[in-house]
Structure 1
Amino acid sequence: MRVSEKGQITIPKHLRERAGIAPNSEVTVDFDGGRLIIAAADGHAEKANRARLERFLKALRKLEGTGDQSIDADQLMKMTRDR
């Protein structure tokens, strides 16, 4: 991707679609740890990320308490290292 003399870039269509950025829509631009973050101003991408996080947390909750409580951390580490 190249930046024009006016500081403009063209966001590829597949990335705009994934981020929920529609033609003529507003976007937000933030700076975080050396990165520019461009997002749809309507929060579509944020809503999608939150939904994905909720699905992940739900899956983790299902696993809670299913592990073998008789195995301590040292035993588990030995089992996973010695494969």
Structure 2
Amino acid sequence: MHVTEKGQVTIPKHIRDAAGVAPGSEVSFSLEGSRIVITPVATSVKQDRRAMLRAAAARVRGSLKPEFRQFGADEIMDFLRGDAAAPAAKRHGRR
């Protein structure tokens, strides 16, 4: 593992996953002898909000009628704003 000039390293994905460290997570550093120990800090409010928003988005996606499940976020927003022709136009490159 290489340490950059700024002192940065990349924590391998399998270790991040096992430790529950995700983007936006906070960690603390400590020294135990000559070892550097990185410890995840308790879940922050920001992470809790993100988890709640992801869960809400999943519920909304699951409740969509089949004809809307094919649309992306922009197309759904266009539809909700009242531009009902926008999803079809966007799919066919006419926007």
Give me the TM-score of the superposition, normalised by structure 2: 0.43
Give me the TM-score of the superposition, normalised by structure 1: 0.48
User: Which one has more relative contact order, counting CA pairs under 8 Å at least 6 apart?
Assistant: 1
